[in-house]
Every structure is written in C-alpha cells, then in structure tokens.
Structure 1
Amino acid sequence: MSRPTARIAGLLRQTRHQIVLPLQLRGPFPRRAALASACALVACMAQAQAVRHALDLPAAPLERSLNELARLTGVQVLFASSLTQGRNAPALRGSFSAQEALDRLLQGTGLSARPQGGQAFTVEPASPAAAAGAGAALPEIRVTADAGRENPLGPPVRFAATRSATATKSDTPLLEVPQTVNVVTAREIDAQGAQNLGQTLRYTAGVLSETFGATSQFDIYTQVRGFRPDLYLDGVQLPYGAAGSGFASAVVDPYVLERVEVLKGPSSGLYGQSGPGGIVNMVSKRPTETPQREIELQAGSFGRKQVAADLSGPLNAEGTLRYRLVALAREAGTQVDFVDNDRRLIAPSITWQPDARTSFTLQAYHQTERNAHTLFNYLPIQGTLRPNINGRLPFERYAGEPDFDRLSRDQSWLGYSFEHRFSDTVSFRQNMRAARTEFEGRAITILQTGGLLPDQRTLRRTAANTAANASTFSIDNQLALRFDTGSVRHDALIGIDHRREIGDFDFGRRAAPSLDVYAPVYGQPIVDPGFNLSNTTSRLEQTGLYFQDQMRLGGWIATLGLRHDDAKTRTVNRRASTATQQSDSKTTGRIGLGYLFDNGIAPYVSYATSFQPVSGSSFGGVPFQPTTGKQVEAGLKYQPASGIGLFTASAFELTEQNRVTPDLANTGFNVQTGEVRVRGLELEAKTELIPGLNLTAAYAWLHHRITRSNTPSEVGARLYGTPDHQGSLWLDYELQRGALAGLGLSAGVRRIGATFDASNLYRMPAYTLVDIGLRYDLGRASPSLRGARLSLTASNLADRYYISTCNTTSGCTLGNRRTVIASLSYQW
C-alpha cells in the first residue's frame, strides 16, 4: 500500500467510531432511474407546472428577479440580455407555479415565457412589435440556472463573484451580507500567478499577506484588519497545531482551489472560537457536471519546474456520479540559496447525486513537501533595514547550514459534504473532515540575544530543532428552514458542530558556530540539540450550538445570529510530567440590518462578537479567560443590475479585550488587562469596465493602537506588522476582435505602508510593487491548437528590495524579489 493510501486509510480507522453518517436514502436506485426514463416530456412539463413555490420577491430590475426566481424554484430561465435591459419587475408574493411566477414578473414588459419542456423556459418577445422594442439583433442567449445564477462553490458567472456561502453558511448574495466579504476567484489567482495563499490575497483590501517574506513555508502568517485569521477549507477549520504555535498548521496549494473568501470581523457567531479580525475560507474544486480536463506545464525563476492536472466530469451516462482529480508535482528553488520549494499533491473527489434533492461529495487530499531547509531565514537588522559598513545583504543570502537544515511536511485529510432537501423549505447539510499534519524542521538561525558582532559581519547563530503534528476531527450539522411569519420571509439555520484537535510539539535549541554573513563558508560541524526544551501534548475539544435567521421584509434584510460554545483544553508537559486543564464557555453572535434598493445599492450596519481561549493562569492560579472581540461596522455595497461588478465600502471599529499583559506586581506572571482597538475604512471595487477589461481596486486605512496595557510604553503603540495605509490596482484586458483576439494583458500595482515591530522600535519602510501578466489563446491562431494557452506572469517586476518584517530578537526577513513564471496549458 502506498504511503498516501495508507495515510487516508489510517484516517478512516481513526474516525470509524465517530463519523455521523448522513441520512439513509431509501428506495432502490434502479426503480428511480426507470421512472425517470419513462417520464414523458408532457408529463414532466405538467409536473413543472403543478409544483408551487412560496415566493417573496421585492420589486427589482427584471434580470435580477428572473435570476432570483430561477434560484428559488430550480428551473432554467433562458433569455437574451437585451430583452431585460431597462425593464423592471413588480413585487411578487404568494404561492405560484414557475409559469405563473414568470407570467407575473413579465406582465407589462412585452415579453412572455414559453415552456421548453421539463424545467426550462425561454423568455421572448410576446409580439413582433415587442421584439422591435427590445432590439432587432439579439446576442447569445444565456442559461440562468447555469450561467445566470452563480454557484457559491464554483466559478463566478462574470468577473466579480456576487454570491458566497462563507458569510452565512448558506447560498447568499453578497449584497445581503451585513459584513465585508472579499472573494478571490480561480480566474484571478491564475491571472496573477499566485503560488500560495498569501499571494492570492495580495490585491485584497485590509489583508496583509506574505508577512514573513519569501522563504516562509506557512499560510497562517496573514493579517486581516491587524489580526491573524483562522483558516478554513470548505467551511471546516484546518489543523492549526496549537501546541506548537502553528508549526503543524495546514498549507493548501491554490491550484486545488475554486475561490478564496475573506469574512472580515468577528465570526464566532457562526464558526466558534476565532480571532477578531475574521476568517479565510478556501473553497476547493469539486466534480463538475460537464467534462473539463486540463494539463499545465510551468517553468520559471529559480529553476522552477511544475506539472499539474485537473480532470473532471461524469462517470455514468445519467450524470449521477461525477469525479474530479487534481494533482501537482513541483521542483523549484527560491530566491535564497539552498532553499527549495518542492511539493507533491493529489486531491481526488467524487460526487453522488441520485436526484435533484440529494448530493454527497467525498473529498481526499494528500500533500508532501521536502527540501525547504529553513523556517524564515532571518537576517541581521544591520545590512537589511539599517546600514552596515560592509554593505547591504543580498536577496539570496542564506544564514543557515545546508548540510544541517531540513524541513519536511506531510498532510492528509478525508471528508465529505452531504445535503438533502426534504422540500423547498427544509434541507439538511453535514460536513465532516478528519485531517493530520506532520512537520519536522531543523534550522540554524540568528541568535535571539544578539545578532552581529562589532565587526558587523560575524553572525552569532543558534541551532533549533522542531517536530510538531496535529490530528483533527470536525463535523458540522446544519438544518436550513424557510418559512413566513406574516409578511416576513425567514431563512433560518440551526446547527451543531464539534471539533477535536490533538497535537504534539517537541522543541530544542543549543549554540551553533558563527558565520561570516558577507562571505559565508558553510559546512561547519553542528551538534543536533534534540528536543531539550519542550515536549508538549495538547488536546482541544469544542462543541457549539448556533442559530441564524435572515429575515426579509420588502427591501429590508435583517440578520440575527447566536451561538454558544463549550471548549476544553488539556495540555500535558511530558518533560515536566505536569498537566493543566481549562474549560471555557462563551456565547457570541451577530446582528445586522440592511436595505436593498431597486437600483442595486445596499447600505448596512452590523455588530458582531468573538472569543478565543487563552492558555495559562495568573499569579494566583486563576485560569485566563478567553480573549474577546467586538466590532461595529457600517457599509455600503453596490451591484449593477447587469451583475457585472461589486463595489464595497465599509467603516468599522474593532476591539480586542482580555489581552495578556505583564503582571507588574509579580515578575514572570501575566494578567488580562490588555486591550487593542482598530478603526478603519476599506474600499474595494471589482467590475468589468468594458467587454474584456476587468478592474480590481482596493484601499484600506487602519488606525490601530494598544489602548490598555500594564506596560506604560505599550499604550498608544501600533500593532506589529500592520500598515496604516494599503492600496492596490489590477487591470486585466483581453482583446475581443481583430488579428490579436485572444491576447490578454494584465498589470497591477501594490502599495504597502510602513509597519513597525512589536516594540515599535523599528520602522519598516513603505514599498510599491508592480506585477504584470501576458497570455494568449493559441486556438485563435490555429484551430489545431484549440484549447492550448500560453501565459507569462512577473511579480515585483522592478526587482524592488524591501523588508517584509523585523523584530528585535530575530532580525529581518526580505520580501519576494522578481519572479517570472511561464505556463503552457491545454484544455479539452
């Protein structure tokens, strides 16, 4: 048995007594298949006409109302864009068949809906005169159920995503979410050449990614509104490795993702314990109804070589069984000598959908990484941030020992997503994942008590050894209800979830030989420190019960969420033979109110809270309480009736309390009197300016200060590594006609403001980076090359030297230098 297969089998054994199986589906499949195949066209049409739906649609532009009707009823509505342009639909409330609802929406528009059989209708002019009024030339007809209605788990219909399942754990238009949500799609990831999670978020307002520079091997070091977010995949939290401060955290390659979504602000009301800045939810690629296959070859800077494949489609003629297989293999260096970025991954998934109401998707993932050699490659402050008499240290300088250093990571998970709709008003969903990550890192790093000797070239170093692992089991059960109370329409969600994480962390350190960092000679003998400082095992269990109600009355939309969590943590110090246990219980929530105008403008206000357990105790032995977060946010969203863009503006005040701060009366102990406040403004625009020209623009202003601390010098200090100002602009244009049709050009600029270290002693200067991209559809040049595409991306085009972060103990890390990647892909 291969190692990946054995690992996944081990996960199955690990959880075989814990997995809650989805509801049993009764009735033999052959009988349903025979019944479906025997259903005549007229009978299907009659069934579509007979089914009635409880509808409550406000007056809105006709195109939006048709899209919403298709979403609510599950029928396909085919129409030409020019027919709906400039037309409005009346409010619709009551119980209607699909045909009746369409007739009401189209009344007085000069249009009519003609059944196409089964679950499809075509909107067309009711008479020749109406056709003339709508325009004589009709563009390509669009299928609303597939192209007109966006799947929040798939690619958007247009450039900008308009729906999300992250903010409410249900399919919700972003206009109706009373909180800021940023969505980065696979299309943007590909165009910008992003190679890790941090790079996918480069053009997102209020998010600072790649905080530890080019050699960081972790996804968790991302900041949202000044705080580190928790990472989720398909709505389920990924392993973190709390015992090892994140060394065992999971890393996901962007090639397996459909989109990345950032939910800003406290999110505990839905997701349980989390930081106040928000969460990042990655949405993985899933099996598709239609075949799609891609093979991609890459080559680029620092000896990069990569091959990837993405295969998907139905497994049987009925389309009830579908698969997807994503795989990648990479061998690559980095800008730092001796530091590689090799990776192998495979991500198979299979979907079983026996009928329109039931779906079960099984997903697996296995990834290995080798030869990274270092954790962060800290360099001394003199020679990077500050001047050095010997000059500036180059991008490629390596401060470790190539024969001693090593880094390896293995991660695997197995999970499923199940959904069954009992009716149009009641459905049940269940998401489960069992995961394990294993990390080993051995590195020579800068000595924390002092870096360079007086000659400003001899670097004092230390040898560190780290081993960490984390095993998690998570399950989330959701009951979705749709009902009316008088004139109010409710979309309610009742859920209960459970998460368990068990992790080990071993760490050791000892002195290592010094290095002339300006003329390094590697190969000095190093003694392995073993694990002489820490041997820790931790166990976290959390169970949460939550409720959410999205209420609609005309254009008003109110969102109310409430959640109660019980969390238990047990930490065993195997070295000292001691154990500590802590129990926390907390109730959090979210309340929001918005109004959706007919012109697509949606103002909103919201209040949300969060909590996060803290290990340790005070001088008196009293366990620390969880840190708490609260946020007030007011914003304005706008989506044109055409659905071609989304514009968001938000202002907020975010406060974190119960921060640990030194106990001045008892040296070596802490108390929870610290507080941080962040006030900010965020702007984001994603839209199609003209056919083929897409725009992404973002700006964030953050005023962040420590407002309470037992250390007087900290009061008024800025948060570590958080800029006051941050902005970006990305333009992508593809020629639509002419000899160069199919040629795409893109360019972006990113401006990151100045940041400070934790002590506010060192200021990292602001920097501006330029990125470009070029692609060409080779099929436009020759029909024999149809499906082939050539692309080129370059980040930090000017090869700007900049500092990503510094601190007083470890030194500084350098940002990513110019990186060029060429890709050749073939789709069929």
Structure 2
Amino acid sequence: MSLCRTHALVSVAMPLLGLAAPAFAETLEETAPENASGQITVTATRQAYRGEFAELEIPQAEQVIGQQQLRDVNALDLVSALDLSASVARQNNFGGLWNAFAIRGFAGDENLPSNYLVNGFNAGRGFAGPRDIAGIESVEVLKGPRAALFGRGEPGGTINLVTKRPRFETAGEVRMMGGSFDFWRGEADVQTTLSDAVGVRLVGFFEDAGSFRDTIETQRYGFMPSVAIKFSDATRLVYELEYARQEVPFDRGVVAINGDVDAVPRSRFLGEPGDGPNIAKVFGHQIELQHDFSDNWSALFGVNYRDTELSGFSTEAELTGSRQLLLRDGRTLTRQRRFRQYDAEYFVARGEIAGNFTSGDIGHRVLIGVDTDRFENDQVFLRVRAPSLATNPSQQQLQAIDVFNPVYGRFPPATPGPLTDRVEVQKSTGIYGQYQISFNEALQLRIGGRYDDYSQAVTNRANGRITRFATDRFSPQAGLVYQVTPQIAFYATYGENFRPLSGTDFGGNAFDPNQSEAIEGGVKYASRNGRLSATASVFSIRQSNILVADPVNADFQIAAGEASSKGFEFDINGQIAPGLDLWVSYAYVDAQVDNAVADPNFGLPVPAGSRLLNIPDHTLNVQLAYTARVAERDVRFGGGVLHVGNRLGEVGRDFDLPAYTLARLFAEGEIGGGVHLRADIDNLFNTRWFANSFSQLWLLPGSPRTARVTASYRF
C-alpha cells in the first residue's frame, strides 16, 4: 500500500475511531490550519507507543470507547466504562477498593488491582482505589497480548486510558449531578491558553454518595491539571498531574446460604460500620516530549511516576469452613478483622523513534524503542480470626453477626496481629521494535518483538529474609492484513505474553513468570464516510505457570497451573442513520482450567475442564442514541441493554452466579445559554443481579433501579 493511501486511510479512520492520540493529537488539533472550506485539518497524529496506523491496518481487534459513548451511558468510573466491552468481565474488586477485570477470560493477580495503561504508561499497579472517569477522553480495549510493545501484562488484552489534554482554546464545562441514595457529584473541565505556545487544562471532581447498601457512604475527589507547551512547530511537551483521594468502606457484599443467592437482602451490610472507611490516595506525574525530525520521522519520550497508598480496617466473612458457623446454623456469620497498610511506587521511562519510508512501491513503517521501570509494592497486613469451631469459641471470638438481624458494634473491636510484612521490588528494562511492510495496496505484514531483562526482590521484614529472582524474556508478535476492498480487511496475528508473579514458594523462591501465547483472526469493516466500523474476530489463548496449591506443603503455592480461553467477538460502532448512533458488543468466551490442580486459596480440587471464576459464556451490550432538533435545540435520548450470562461463583464448588439483563434510558437537551439538563435511569426494571463473587460468602450485589439528574453549563 502506498504511503499516500496510508495517510488517506488515517484521515478516514480518525473521526471513525474518535481518537485523540495518547501523546499529542489533541494538542496538535488546535494548531492545525483551516482549509478553504473552513474545516480544521489535523496535520500530524501519533498513537503513543503503538505507531501510526489506520484501523484496517492493525492486525488485532481493538475497541475505542470515545467521549460520546462514555457520556451516553453516563460512565463515572472505569468499571462502568468497561461494561461497554463484552470482552471484559468484572472480577472480585477487593471490597470495592480497586479495579478488577478479566479480558477474554483471563484476569491478573487476584491480590493486586488489574493493570491498565494511561497514555501508554503502566498505571493500574498500585493502590489508588477505583479509577474515576473524570479526566479521561477515551478508553481503549486493546485485545490480545501486547507484551511485544508494552512489556509484561495480561494475556487477554490491555486497557489504555487516553486523558484529556489542552486543545489551545478557551472552553469548559461544569456539571452538577444528584440522584438516588443521596448521590451528589460535581465536575469541572476548563481549558485556556496562557500564550500562543502554552495551553492549560484543569479537570476536577468531588463526589459524596450514600448507597443502597446499609451504612455505606463514600467520598471521592480528585484534581487532574495538564499543561501543553509548543517550543516550535516540531517540538511539543505535555505535563499532567494526577491527585485523587477516596474514602471507601470495605464491603465484601452479602452471602449465599445453601447456594441461595437471595437469602438476605441486597442492602444488607455484614461488616462493621465502626471500622470506618479505607483511604486510597494517588499522587502522580506524567510528562511527554515529542519532536518531529520531518514529516515522516519523529521521536517520543515520556516519564511517569505514581505514588499510591491504601490503609484501613475491615471486618469480613471468614472463608475457612472449620471456623465458619454460618455453614452449620444458617444464620450466624463468623468474621475476621483485618488492617491493611499498602503503599506502592511506580516509575517508568520510555523513548522511541517512529517513521516511514518507501522503496519502490513498497511502504515501510518502523517503530523502535526502549523503556525501564521500577515497581515497589510495600504491604503490611494484620489479622485476627476465630479459632476452630471444634474448640467451642464464644460469639465474641467468632466476631459473630446474625445475617438476618444484624447488630453492629455488639463486641469491642478485636485487635489484629501481624500476618504479612514485606516489600517487593520489580525492575525491568526492555527493548522493542515493530516493523510493518506494505507489499501492495492489499497486503501488509507486521513483525515485532521485545526483549525484557527482569528482576524481582522480595524482603520479608518479619524474618529478615530476602529472595531474589532474575530472568529475561523475548515476546514476539506477527500479524498479516489483507485488504480486499477499501472498506473490508481480513487479518491474522500471533503473540506471546508474560506476567511476573508476586510472592514466594515453600522454599522461599520466587515463582517463574506466568506465560501465554495467543492466535487471533478476523475481519474489519470501515464505511466510506468513516461513520461506522465493525470487527468480527476469533481467538485462542493458552496460559501456563498459574499459581495453584502446593500438593506437598499446605498453605503454599506453586506455579504449575494451565488454562485456555477461546471464543468469538463481534463489535459495531457508529452512525447507522442521520442522528442515530449504534453500539453493539458481543462476546462468547470459553475459558477453562486445562490440568487438574488444587485451588490456591483453599486447596479444593479443580478438575481439568473447570470454568474460570466470574467469566460468562455470553455477554452482550447494545446501546442506541438519537439526536434530534426540537424547538431549535439539540435533544439526545436513548438507552441500552446489557446481558451477562451465568458465571462460576466459587472455585472448586458447584456454585453459579445467575445471569442478568439490565436496561437503561437517558435524555439530554439544551435549555438555553449553554445550560443542559439530563436524566438517567439505570436498571430500569429493578433487576436483582450480582457483579462478581469470590466465594458464596463474598457476593457483590449490583445496584437496584437508580435515577440521576444532571445540570451542566458549557462555554
């Protein structure tokens, strides 16, 4: 494919994808010259750390959840945004304290938040609490392994958040929101220019909310300013700061009794309100510098630093059967009391050169880069639990609560004792490259790979023992694209992935990294006018070195598990008629354990062929929105349906979370002078549903019918 046609395809694909390139597309857009028709032309764009490609040239499935889709579903956090992608399934969210999700059937470490990227930088590691969507321009679901570019990560795919950055204009929006269960929220997004060369954008939010859950109240606030500087037409810099603080009570949800998930009301809180909230904080900096050597070659350098902290008490259900009275009398829940002080620091620096050239009729696009990162995970964990029921413990020793008639504060708070006191440091330096060659106007080949030099050190402060581990990994990728028409392309790809595992085995040795390989194939469509896109794909992923119970040494683990996931996906997004926008995302995922193992948490046998936790076979999300002119003003209204199939609710048990279907409606319109009003109703039919579980004693119920009203002022 010729380079001129490549640039034409990029021009078509950009409005289709709603892309603001993670590094500088928004910054560049405001400086682009107007053409004769008065339209703004973007003269240069970059996808940070991925290269410059039109959607039909990428040999992998990708979804871009743009600002309009986020607004249509009134997404306020990352979980709500990711519900739009059928390829993403909710996982155990650690009592509401972090984001946890699986992509294409595979989740990460259950003891850490799911990782995600921000503008191409790893940012999900750490303990910042659930990610708020304020300050986010779009959410990218990059399906399949991406280790060849980003390094260690999850086998099913990568989530990349594209932030809001200065556009070199004076504009803004202020929103006030109120709704069910004493929900109140304010947001501001204001941008201006300090000079022709300096743009500033200020984004912030404050939220104070009750809940359908008894005694649960949360408070969150954050501030995300950014500055863009044009040193010249060829050199630009963006700096972003992130600060957020959340007060979130630890909430493991409700219990199932004899497999009955409706045994207690979904509002029932089974912790202790007297524990107070857990506090999650993040303070981060990100800076990127782009320099264009010419129209075809540029360099991009970036640094990211995040400091996160999570601390607080919790009282939660005891999961060990020999201590759990509920399993005997059907109403008295044995609980543990815990204290956590988790701190994490993450630093990463990346630099790359990207460009394109031709040799005859053949086009070449090259991406070469290097990065280094350091992740420090410091954990202090205290716990007090009941003795075995065989010792006839008292109600106070059990920290007992009646699930049908709870009395909070019945006993003085138990004092937790030491359990975990360690710090783990992971370091990695990687070199990566990607080369895509266009043989003709139809056929393109992509090859690439990444070499990582990785080390890990775990210091057990309780006994002074230090365990060190070092390895290296090469992660290849290869893909083929065949464009049969300007609107339709077939693709196939292969890739490998690895992810370090935290902790040590019985001998005090670090675990070998989790490894995976994946193949994928599909077909993509992009309409001539760039308003509609669709992708259908099939995939198969195999994963090894999964942590399972050590069959010889009780309460320890080994990296010996194997699992696989295969499935089919279909996504369509865009305008199907004037003013009518459609979003459809469907996924069939068959994810299972491949070898007979024992569950790492409770040692229960897990036969080969068992399903993976919280992974539905079928997921479907359909959203429809229509914009009309009413009384000389725009009015937008619509709704959607989310269906999630039944899921395994506890590893090693015959227990399922039921399937659910949720409906929602919204309407929004301008009343004059830049003032807009909006109304949302979620879970329209008040369906009882469960978002995820870890066991029958940790079930997270979903929200009942909720209503929200929003007033906003745009200028």
Check whether TM > 0.5. Answer: yes
Q: Which one of the candidate residues 290, 299, 302 is aligned to 1:431?
A: 302
Give 1:525 shift. Answer: 3.5
Distance of 2:562 and 2:209 partners within structure 1: 43
Match of 1:497 among 358, 368, 371: 371
Which residue of structure 2 lines up, in the alignment, with residue 181 of structure 1? 62
CA contact 2:468–2:510 (8 Å) conserved in 1? no
The Cα of 1:792 is off from its aligned counterpart by 1.3
Cα pair 2:105 2:591 within 8 Å, conserved: no
Question: Residue type matched to 1:173 in 2?
Answer: A
What is the aligned counterpart of 2:287 among 416, 425, 432? Answer: 416
Other-structure match for 2:41: 145
Distance 1:441 1:259 in 2: 32
State the Cα distance separating 1:55 from its structure 2 match: 4.4
Q: Matches of 2:355 and 2:6 in 1, distance apart?
A: 20
Which deviates more from structure 2 when the two are superposed, residues 355-364 or residues 551-560? 551-560
Q: Does residue 770 of the first structure (1) align with residue 651 of the second (2)?
A: no
Partner of 1:99: none
Give the Cα separation in 1 of the matches to 2:294 and 2:309: 43
Match of 1:361 among 227, 233, 238: 238
The answer on 1:217 being equivalent to 2:97 is yes
Give the secondary structure class of the aligned counterpart of 1:653.
strand
Match of 2:596 in 1: 709
Is the counterpart of residue 471 in structure 1 residue 308 in structure 2?
Answer: no
Matched residue SS, 2:41:
helix
Give 3-state SS (helix, strand or coil) of 1:799's partner. Answer: coil
- Equivalent of 1:652 in 539, 546, 554: 539
Cα displacement (A) at 1:685: 0.5
- Equivalent residues in 2 for 1:165-204, closer than 5 Å: 165=47, 169-204=50-85
2:146 paired residue among 267, 277, 282: 267
Residues 372-410 of structure 1 show CA distances to partners (whole Å, capped at 9, x for unaligned) of 221x32322118x517xxx73222211111112421111
Pick from 732, 735, 751 the counterpart of residue 643 of structure 2: 751
Q: CA separation in 1, counterparts of 2:14 and 2:224?
A: 36
Identity of aligned residues (%): 25
Q: Which amino acid aligns with 1:461?
A: R
Cα distance in 2 for residues equivalent to 1:432 and 1:561: 23
> How many angstroms does 1:477 deviate by?
0.5
Q: Residues 34-53 of structure 1 correspond to what in structure 2 (within 5 A)?
A: none
Partner Cα distance (1:63, 1:298) in 2: 37
Kept after mapping to 1: 8 A contact 2:106/2:154: no
Whichever residue aligns with residue 341 of structure 1, its letter is T
Cα displacement string for residues 440-482 of structure 1 (whole angstroms, at most 9, x for unaligned residues) = 1211111122252644222211111111010111111111122
TM-aligned CA deviation for residue 341 of structure 1:
2.1
Q: Could you tell me how far apart the structure 2 residues matched to 1:321 and 1:407 are?
A: 39
Partners of 2:90 and 2:614 within 8 A in 1: no
Pairwise CA distance, 1:675: 1.3
- Report how far residue 552 of structure 1 moved: 1.7
Deviates further, 745-754 or 815-824: 815-824
Q: 1:305 to 1:464 in 2, by over 3 A?
A: same
**Alignment check: 8 A CA contact 1:270 1:589 kept:** no
Q: Is the 8 A contact 1:380 1:452 kept in 2?
A: no
Structure of greater Rg? 1
- Residue 199 of structure 1 aligns to a residue in which SS? helix
Question: What is the CA–CA distance in structure 2 between the aligned matches of 1:745 and 1:209, rounded to whole Å?
Answer: 27
> Does the Cα contact within 8 Å between 2:496 and 2:517 map onto a contact in 1?
yes
Q: State how far apart, in whole Å, the 2-side matches of 1:794 and 1:362 are.
A: 37
Q: C-alpha displacement at 1:669, in angstroms?
A: 5.1
Which residue of structure 2 lines up, in the alignment, with residue 252 of structure 1?
131
Are the structure 2 counterparts of residues 444 and 797 from structure 1 closer, same or farther at C-alpha, using a change threshold of 3 Å? same
Q: Give runs of aligned pairs for residues 348-747 of structure 1, distance below 5 A.
A: 348-370=225-247, 372-374=248-250, 376-382=251-257, 386=260, 392-449=263-320, 450=324, 452=326, 454-511=328-385, 513-553=399-439, 554-615=441-502, 623-664=510-551, 670-711=557-598, 713-735=606-628, 737-739=629-631, 741-747=633-639
Offset from partner CA, 1:163-217 (integer Å, 9 cap, x none):
xx36x6233222211111111112211211112101001121211136559x623
Please list the CA deviations of residues 770-812 of structure 1 after superposition, one character each: whole Å capped at 9, or x if unmatched. 111111121xxxxxx2311111112211111122333447432
Q: Could you tell which deviates more after superposition, 550-559 or 768-777?
A: 550-559
Offset of 1:730 from its aligned partner? 0.6
Q: Is the 8 A contact 1:551 1:557 kept in 2?
A: yes
- 1:12 aligns with none
From the superposition, tell whether residues 530 and 738 of structure 1 become closer, same or farther in structure 2 (CA, over 3 Å): closer
CA shift in 2, pair 1:742/1:273, >3 Å: same
Indicate if the aligned counterparts of 2:34 and 2:41 stay in contact, CA closer than 8 A: no
Q: Decide whether the 8 Å contact of 1:240 with 1:250 is kept in 2.
A: no
Task: Work out the CA distance in 1 between the residues paired with 2:327 and 2:651.
Answer: 23
Higher percent of residues as helix: 1
Task: Give the 3-state SS of the residue equivalent to 1:605 in structure 2.
Answer: strand
Q: Following the alignment from structure 1 to structure 2, what is the Cα–Cα distance between the partners of residues 588 and 65?
A: 29
Matches within 5 A, 1:55-94: 55-57=3-5, 64=12
Does the CA contact (< 8 Å) of 1:588 and 1:609 recur in 2? yes
- TM superposition shift of 1:662: 3.7
**C-alpha deviation, 1:624, in angstroms:** 2.9
Q: Distance in 2 between matches of 1:789 and 1:755?
A: 40
Q: How far apart in 2 are the matches of 1:266 and 1:259?
A: 20
Contact map agreement 2:147 2:153 (CA 8 A) in 1: yes
Residue 751 of structure 1, CA deviation: 0.7
The separation in 2 between residues aligned to 1:62 and 1:378, in whole angstroms, is 47
Aligned-residue offset at 1:268: 0.6
**How far has the Cα of 1:223 moved from its partner?**
4.1
Range with greater deviation from structure 2 (640-649 or 187-196): 187-196
CA distance in 2, matches of 1:532, 1:578: 16
Tell whether the 8 Å contact from 1:762 to 1:807 is kept in structure 2 after alignment.
Answer: no
Q: CA separation of 1:60/1:668 partners in 2, compared to 1, >3 Å: closer, same or farther?
A: closer
Amino acid corresponding to residue 379 of structure 2 in structure 1: F
CA distance 1:786–1:281, shift in 2 (3 Å): same
Q: Return the alpha-carbon distance in structure 1 between the equivalents of residues 222 and 510 of structure 2.
A: 42
TM-score (norm 2): 0.89
Gaps of 5+ in 1: 1-53, 72-117, 123-140, 153-164, 242-247, 779-784
Give RMSD over aligned pairs.
Answer: 2.7
Select the residue among 208, 222, 226 that pairs with 1:345. 222
Task: Tell whether the 8 Å contact from 1:570 to 1:582 is kept in structure 2 after alignment.
Answer: yes
Gaps (5+ residues) in structure 2? 20-31, 109-113, 386-397, 599-604
Q: Is the counterpart of residue 329 in structure 1 residue 206 in structure 2?
A: yes
* Structure having the larger proportion of residues in strand: 2
- Letter of the 1:720 partner, please give it: L
CA-to-partner distance for each residue in 1:339-390, whole Å, 9 max, x for gaps? Answer: 12211111111100132211101110111112x221x32322118x517xxx
2:681 to 778, 784, 794: 794
Contact (CA 8 Å) 2:165, 2:201: kept in 1 or not?
yes
Deviation of 1:150 (Å)? 9.9
Q: Distance in 2 between matches of 1:59 and 1:396?
A: 55
User: Is the 8 Å Cα contact of residues 806 and 813 (structure 1) preserved in structure 2?
Assistant: yes
Cα distance between partner residues in 2 of 1:471 and 1:64: 40
Change (3 A) 1:144 1:55: farther
CA distance in 2, matches of 1:366, 1:60: 40
Q: 1 CA distance for matches of 2:197 and 2:481? A: 39
With 608-617 and 700-709 compared, the bigger mean Cα shift is at: 608-617
Q: Quick one: distance in 1 between partners of 2:244 and 2:4?
A: 47
Per-residue CA deviations over 1:7-26 (Å, capped at 9, x if unaligned) read xxxxxxxxxxxxxxxxxxxx
Contact 1:378–1:446 under 8 Å retained in 2 = no
